[in-house]
């Protein structure tokens, strides 16, 4: 399958991380690192998309604290009945980390994730599917 070239913009620190992964992960080039990362994200996405019934996920969101004007709290309040627990912390560079345990019907979890990822100040959202109750 032929590859199509694309351009990707990233911060200097993200580029440094990519270069680190290139060296330490023994990838042959930057494109291989990016392809691997996309495949991992797609695998995570497919697991959530295929889930049915009530599921439990652990969501970790990294977002900019500087300048505020993020709507993380608005999204959390919209889904408050589905969030079992949260932990909030700060990184050394002033960003925020929010860890949430969410239990809800799979379609509600998917909607929550979409709204969370749509926030402009959100840098990264990781999700781990922990439990599925199809009953």
pLDDT digits (tens, 9 = 90+) for 36-81: 888 888 887 788 888 899 999 999 999 877 655 667 888 999 999 9
Distance CA 36, CA 42 (A): 10
| Residue 2 falls inside a structural domain | no
Residue 119: predicted pLDDT: 85
Q: Give a yes or no: residue 33 inside a domain.
A: yes
Is 89 within a domain?
A: yes
- Residue in 100, 57, 48 with CA at minimum distance from that of residue 77: 100
Same domain, 67 and 122: yes
Please name which of 32, 10, 120 lies closest in space to residue 70, comparing C-alpha atoms.
Answer: 120
Q: Would residue 1 count as lying in a domain? A: no
Q: Is residue 116 part of a domain?
A: yes
CATH of the domain at 105: 3.30.70.1150
Say yes or no to pLDDT of 117 above 60: yes
Q: Do 125 and 64 share a structural domain?
A: yes
What mean pLDDT comes out for the span 110-114? 94
Mean pLDDT of 79-107: 93
Residues 66 and 127 in one domain: yes
Estimate the crossing angle of helix 30-50 against helix 12-24, to 10 degrees.
100
Say how far apart CA 40 and CA 38 lie, in whole Å.
5
What is the number of structural domains in the chain?
2
Residue 32 lies in a domain: yes
Domain limits for position 39 = 12-43
């Amino acid at each position: 399958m032929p590859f199509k070239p694309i351009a990707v913009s990233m911060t200097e620190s993200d580029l440094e991380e990519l270069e680190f992964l290139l060296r330490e992960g023994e990838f042959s080039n930057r494109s291989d690192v990016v392809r691997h990362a996309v495949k991992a994200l797609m695998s995570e996405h497919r697991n959530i998309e295929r889930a049915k019934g009530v599921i439990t996920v652990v969501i970790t969101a990294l977002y900019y604290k500087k300048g505020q004007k993020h709507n993380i709290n608005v999204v959390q309040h919209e889904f408050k009945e589905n969030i079992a627990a949260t932990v909030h912390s700060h990184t050394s560079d002033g960003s925020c980390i929010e860890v949430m345990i969410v239990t809800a019907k799979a379609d509600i979890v998917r909607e929550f994730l979409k709204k969370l990822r749509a926030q402009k100040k959100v840098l990264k959202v990781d999700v781990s599917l922990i439990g599925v109750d199809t009953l």
